[in-house]
Amino acid sequence: MEQRILLCDTTLRDGEQAPGVAFGLPEKEMIARALADAGIDELEVGVPAMGEGEIKTISQLVALKLPVRLITWNRAVLSDLQASYQTGIEGVAISIPTSDQQIKHKLRKDRAWVLDQMGQCILNAKKEVGYIVLGLEDASRADFTFLSEILMEAQKLGVNRVRFADTLGILDPLKVFFTLQELVKVCDVPLEFHAHNDLGMATANALAAVQAGFKAVSVTVGGLGERAGNASLEEVAVALKYSLDKVVQMDLKRLNPICLLVNLATDRKTPRAKPIIGEDVFTHTSSIHIDGIQKDFANYQTYPPESVGRQHSTSYGKYSGRKTIMRLLEAKGIELNQETIDELLIKILQQTHQLKRPLEEADIMKIVVST
């Protein structure tokens, strides 16, 4: 059987870095439970170095003993790791800047210092936790030779996974595929892709990384995250299964309620046309599409909406057409002459322009009564 692709959720860490987002313990617990119950492979649950409050919250999440690996995010600093150990966490992610831009102008260090600090932290973590992820910050702007050196050293040190971060979201799918497949050849350690969505390509880049040989992808619920956010859990999970024919453990029918839960916790609304979870994404308005769906769902169906707990629906508007309206009237047992139907279509168009939204059956019936 084909090895499944790991979905590594960082909603409770990178997602919480979205402007205006701050989860309380009850919210973190509900989100963590929902994701674990749905079969997520890993949860990155916070940054203990933030202080005692964060350490306490993460410790309480650890105490839930959820059926999923929990990890924390850390800089390559021993004090960060010491804070993580206090939580009783199973695994740690250790992040190192890898681009010369960040090494020189953020850390004000050099490559040798980065490698030395990385080694010290990994060796220290191996004594305390059972799983180590090495995160390569700003890897998309790093020198390929240096990345290769890091990977070979990481393999020698025995890390469990290496995370390639497109920190600024500057990559495109072709560059991801052709560059990252070369990285896969460098070592045997499983690689994870961490996409940011600054140019709207996070999901596409995550899929390209999998096609290049990566075994894991970072995701957040609804694409929540710093700036333009991260790769969306729901988009990546569904696309892995239905576009790439990959194995995912996640129960896709749980995606919609999980996204609604996170919306409530962040006081944010899902755009109507948001893939997978948007209100309109399985709604058909054009008469051509509705006719096609009536004949065979495969005419206008990317994947079964039932697979994500949704279903097809129709709405009425400018492009509904005579056939669609007549089908609705027949279903309601209503017979109208052609002149009245023409008048009805004009009123439907006027109502759509006025309300700036699709019309439902109840709206159409009100128009019929008034015609």
Q: What is the DSSP letter of 230?
A: B
- H or E element in which residue 53 lies: helix 52-63
- Between the two ends of the chain, the Cα-to-Cα distance in Å is 61
pTM above 0.85, yes or no: yes
Residue 6, CA distances (Å) to 157, 215, 247, 313, 321 in order: 22, 6, 9, 32, 45
Q: Domains in the chain, start-ordered, CATH in brackets?
A: 6-266 (3.20.20.70), 283-370 (1.10.238)
Tokens representing 74 are 């850390």
Q: How far apart are CA 366 and CA 9, in angstroms?
A: 46
Task: Please report, in tens digits, the pLDDT of each residue of the chain (371 residues total).
Answer: 567 999 999 999 999 999 999 999 999 999 999 999 999 999 999 999 999 999 999 999 999 999 999 999 999 999 999 999 999 999 999 999 999 999 999 999 999 999 999 999 999 999 999 999 999 999 999 999 999 999 999 999 999 999 999 999 999 999 999 999 999 999 999 999 999 999 999 999 999 999 999 999 999 999 999 999 999 999 999 999 999 999 999 999 999 999 999 999 999 999 999 999 998 888 787 777 777 877 888 888 889 999 999 988 777 766 666 777 777 777 888 888 888 877 887 787 888 888 877 777 888 888 887 77
Cβ-based neighbour number of residue 1 at 10 Å:
4
List, in sequence order, every beta strand (DSSP E) within the chain: 6-9, 42-44, 69-75, 91-97, 131-137, 161-166, 191-195, 216-219, 283-284, 313-314
- H or E element in which residue 63 lies: helix 52-63
Is 289 exposed, middle or buried (CB count within 10 Å of its CB: 0-12, 13-18, 19+)? Answer: middle
Q: How far apart are CA 223 and CA 237, in angstroms?
A: 12
Helices 233-242 and 255-266, interaxial angle, to 10°?
160
Instruction: Single out the residue of 191, 269, 201 nearest to residue 232, CA to CA.
Output: 201
Q: What residue spans of 103-172 are helical by DSSP H?
A: 111-126, 144-157
